[in-house]
Structure 1
Amino acid sequence: MANPTRSDPVLRKLAQPLALTRAGLLAEQALRAFWPLMTVAMAALAALMLGLQDHLPIELVWGGFVIGVLGLIVTFALGIRRFQWPTRTDALARLDATLPGRPIAAILDRQAIGAGDADSVALWQAHQARMAQRAAGARPARPDLRLAPRDPYALRYVALLALLVALLFGSVWRVGTVAGMVPGGGTGLASGPTWEGWIEPPRYTGKPTLYLSDLNKPDLSVPESSRIILRFYGEVGALTLAETVSGRTGEDAAIPSAADPQQEFTVERDGELRISGPGGRKWSIDVIKDIPPEIAVAGPASAEASGEMTLPFSASDDYGVTGGQAVIALDLEMIDRRFGLIPDPEPRENITVPLPLPITGDRAEFGETLVENFSQHPWANLPVTITLTANDAAGHVTATAPFATPLPARRFFDPMAAAVIEQRRDLLWSQANAPRVAQILRAVSHRPEDIFRSQTTYLRLRVILRRLETFTHHGLDKAHRDEIAAALWDLAVLLEEGDLGDALERLRRAQERLSEAMKNGASDQEIADLMQELRDATQDYLRQLAQQQPQEGDEQQNAENSIQMGQDDLQRMMDRIQELMEQGRMAEAQQALQELQQMMDNMRVTQGQGGPSEGQQAMEGLAETLREQQGLSDQAFRDLQDRFGPNGAPGRDGQQDQEQTLADRQRALRDELARQQGQLPAQGSPEGDAAGRALERAGRAMDDAETALREDDYAGAIDRQSEAMEALREGMRDLGEALAQNRRTQPGEGETGAGSRRADGRDPLGRETGQRGSVGTDQGLLQGEDIYRRARELLDEIRRRSGEGERSKTERDYLQRLLERF
């Protein structure tokens, strides 16, 4: 490249990008040459601003000072040596390198040969014109500021981070403290002694730290328990502290000297803070007291139908509530000490549960609801006192005045279930009630056929009663007492809810529960839940009536009309009952409920000749046994999950009681299966014998499951229970085939009849072939006493499938057409 001059026309056009490129080269050279100097300077300044010199021995401080000064001198010398001032030629070369074909160099070149040839000169001028056009689009070249190859350990970033930390948490004033370490510096400082100080409020307040040197106002308001930190620099004794905010007295031996270079104390009361000496200051401090939290009950305690207690409350605090709890104590003076409550109760600790707090949002003021289920606690539905407490971060605790209320819990409306729960309460009240509880349970179960709806509940009660009497005879301890209590609770729940597979039974049970609730003064929520249960049970019963009507001619139409009329009347009556209850007119509501029961009794229809067959009863019994076994298996699996604590260690508390209860239930179910085996119909046929063998396998699996439960082998018990359920299903299939075979072999239904029909030109289903390919018959496809039952089962299955939303729309439309036709 020829030597460029400013008079070149091309260079005049490139003046701005050329100047910017040269400035970039200057920054590039300066950064490469002096980055070590900047690194050392930032590190030394960060150390001084953080006050490291105040915490290190004087020898180390002086050593570090010498090293720092030498580092600055060496890095500055190396930077001067490496630095090269960029020339205009360097800038042109860098700018030209960014353009394709280096047009600037081509423009500045001169024609060496052919200057006398006109064609050669013209070609050279054309080339120069193209290069000038290309150079006109030049942009400033970016400088190369990367230092990673020269600083592989990123020391410059470490020093920069330290400087930023010092700027945030340090002080520039601390740099001047180095001068006090110079010999004679304590007396030769131009500004004299210095100080600095901070006021740090408690973290839970969320308020910032105050730097006293920057506060010019004499009056300060700070939160209670704020920490004050002061540091005096210079000659000891030149600055002294006087304060009346900490509450420290002269008798306290821990009080440091007023001239101590470092002072630290906590603000506890209003007072004055004064620094005496050169540059001293004075403040009047007003303490912002931490207000204790407030908590109050926002509504009455109530219980849902499931037994969950709900207790609304509200709480507030100036800086936020950090926790709270509800303490429930038995109100012994308010208890009616009769019957099983006559003995003194066994000592029990108060119930303590934590209060729920908002997961997100402000806890300074909020409302929440405590939801707990105390239905199985011995104090359920007994008078108690509930005390709510709230605490804040400052350690203040506030408690509400104890308020009396019956402990909300589940209520049992079935008389037998209520009796069982009452005896369970008496047993938990005092072990001395055990003989009395056994006597009452034996008395109320004297005539089981008049009380119990299923043999399962009666068998469970007998097992519980036998174990209670045995334990009482040998000395009832707490573990056995808790075992019996758990078994009584399960029995009461089964008696209350039952296994109501029949719609009419569900309806009667719903009516009884609602009637008992109105008599016993149940809560509005409980009555509303029971009313909804009655509505649902009524709908199920009406659907069952519709399915059980005769399927022919005018009788079907008349029956459907009567049912529709009854359904409208029932809905109006239930609306009237609910309206009376909402108005508090319980006597009239009770009378209307009795009228509803009479109306439902009048709606019964004849369901064919005779009751259910022996085979149907056997199938229903096996189905009940299968459901019971499924429930036992589910309970065993849940207990197996609960056996392990958070660290994987087995949690054995209360496990033995549950094992005994499940084992006894398994034994009772095995006895029930043995009874059903003895009454199994269709014995002697291949299918009937196969059903018997399957039930024997189920019985053996139940025995093994009981043994596994008593040996604390939950996994093995679940496996055996699965085998029992599979065997029960197989036995039910075999029994169904046996019953179907018996129906097929009835007179007129055997192979001979079918063969004769086919010989008469009928199809395999017994239908006559008609004209144009149509088929028909004047006989039913099914014969015998189960024809209507089978028809109802098919119609019910069609209804069930038509209501399944996961089926395709085409299939559901087809099923709906079947329902409309039949």
Structure 2
Amino acid sequence: MADKRPDVTRQLWLTRMGLWAERITRAFWPAWTAGFAALAVWASGLMPDAAELLAVVGLGILALVLAGLGLRGFRAPTAGEARTRLDATLPGQPLATLDDDMAIGAGDAGAADVWAAHRRRMAERLAGAKPVPPDLRVSRRDPYALRYMAVLLAAVALMFGTLWRAPVMPDLPGVAEQVAAGPAWEGWLEPPRHTGLPTLYLNDIAPGPVEVPQGTRVIMRLYGEVGALSVTETVSGRDVVDPSEALQEFTVTQSGTLTVDGVEDAPLWTLTATPDAMPEVSLNGEAVYEHPDQILIPWQARDDFGITFGEVTLALDPEASDRAHGLAIEPEPRDSETFDLALPISGDRTEIEEIFREDLTRHPLAGMPVTVTLLVRDAAGQEGTHLGTMILPGRAFYDPVAAALIEQRRDLNWSRANRDRVARLLRSVTWKADGTWNNPTAYLITRMAIRRLDEGPLTIESRDEIAEMLWQAAVRIEDGSLDSALARLREAQERLSEAIRQGASPEEIQRLMAEMRQAMDDYTRQLAQQGQQGQQQQQAQGETQEITPDMLDQMMQRIEELMAQGRTAEAQELLRQLQEMMENMQVTQGQGGGQGEPGEGQQAMDELRESLRDQQELSDEAFRELQEQFGEQGQQGQQGQQGQQGQQGQQGQGQQDGQGQQSGPGQPGQQGEGRPSDQPGQGGGGREQGQAQGQGGSLADRQQALRQGIDALRRGLPGAGTEAGDAARDALGRAEDAMRDAEEDLADGNLGGALDDQSRAMDALRDGMQELGRALAGDRAPEGEQQQGGADGQGQPRGARGIDRDPLGRQSGQGSQLGTGENMLDGPDAQRRARDLMDEIRRRSGERERPQLELDYLRRLLDRF
């Protein structure tokens, strides 16, 4: 039963050598400790000759005695001991096992197979054997580490003792004594600190040409008898009074020579002064707009020793403008704008490639031709500049009304002489437009801007205020427009598609992907808002379809993967499919239970929504009456808005108060037809009764009716006893108190105070809707868990009744709790968000007008992250 045994000869030999080293160390360490001590005494030269000889002889005899004792107890290791030590380190001791034979069951075939398998396993273990390292520690026998002390003393004595030391020079008088003691002169070359170059010791530099930065400081020290040595130089351009002065300092301003006279073979250095190069700066690409409010201008700069400061100045370039319409006249003088360029906090500043980021979307120069002046400065105070021209990017407005407002804002900023023209065009834009704009607040802001244009002289301050009002109105219209959001999404998709076709760089593809994600988020948000107003949903084969965030993320990630693999055709096709999906997507919402009347919780939620809408309309009418008190009549009167009639107390005219607004159930002055609020036990009945009492009355009466309806709704609100339900009741209580204050202010004619109270009431109503949504979500959770995987009779997924969802399948704030439970630290946008945050910190750290405490905090953030 012979097995193939692995060859472990090398391992056994190395293990045996380790045993030799181990036993020699343990036997003879006292002897060589005494020998090193004798060497230290002999080489140090600290003792008198007689005492030194006696000590060396004594330590030598001690070393021989200790060596003899060690030799007496020394035992040479054998091959068997090496074999035993190696075998002991392996599990199962394979060496001994392979030498054994079967003692029992030799004739049994089964036992023989088991034994053979055991031997094969032992052979495999033996194949992995490694030499056993020796244990050279003798700390137990030498607890005071005398061996190390002896070695250390011997080493010190050999290096600093008399063995290798030159003979002592005899005392020499005069100059000879100075020469023997050290150099008769010393010199240093200290480059300017901003260069970061080291100081040079002139005595170590061979005479000849030496290149130094201009501004290098030269320090010369002369020793010995005064006047024996002198310094001659032509690099400073100074008037030398005493060249033999002991200490001389001067600066290298030009190329020249430097020599020390009075010594043998006087050294001569030819210093070449290298001037500090001028810093260079330039634009490094096209300026772009980054959603939502960033202007990006790439730039680059270089300097031989580093940039210390940078700034960019933007100024209007009227000659490059399209002088048409409002730009046909001469522009008013406008001061240029200067911003700091953010420099790297740490690292090399000799080569800088950075991006200037600033919120300039609402700047008067946005979208206009400008001159860009870049200025950088180095530590030497030298400046480098670059003058360029560009169209300063700005936010694109796709909604035609928003675009018209922005154009008039531009004309007004161009010159105040456009005042009459802008006011006339704004009146045209707002003519009979109340109620048709997607944002009534934007309409009111625009009307206020027209009024400001018609008042008194137009100063620069009032011009800027009006321009800001037009910007706010345009942004409200643009952000509230589904068409503009879809246009932004299409534009982002087209840019990404074009970049894919042209084979753009991965960095550019990544930037366009991030821009498209942002546009997609805006579009889905607008879809959700539209769906909450219109109760729309997308039907496919009788079933509700939802587009989940995972589906969109997977498609975007798949496009990135295809681009990384070079499969551009497939990426283009997938992008086209994603575009079609986003354009056809609509809001998916729950339908409630069955075809009958809605449940108790959903009915209360509908009541709250209509109450909020009624309060908003009542607040708008109060605002219009406030405008009429200041002379803003005519335009709104021509549009059929008769809110002033209600304030005059004329009965029977209440139904005209809401003209120009969207009619619907629950609006003030109407019967609330089609509203499922006549069920017993619900707050809707009390609310309808309160509305009936306030029909046709003044604003105060209608506010009272709305407050009574909220009171009745609060008493019948579901979810009693739960945290969210009680919070909803508290929120409605705050709304009722604010309505009561608004009612008193309306009765007293204090329209300004009433607007503030109504704003508080609307905020409280929104809080109540949110808390009620949380309460309803908690009540429906068990039913949804029991019904998962099925659908009700309406083709709607079970477990989702009454829960409003946005186009991505998430619960919206009106039918459930606000926010999302997803982890915002993960996902494909995490890196982009981190980069944007770091860019913002860098931008703020470069703003010198910020408090020093804040700048120190920002720098600590940059140093840490």
TM-score by length of structure 2 reads 0.47
Larger Rg: 1
Instruction: State the structure with bigger RCO (CA 8 A, min sep 6), 1 or 2.
Output: 2
| The structure with more helix, counted as a fraction of residues | 1
TM-score by length of structure 1 reads 0.49
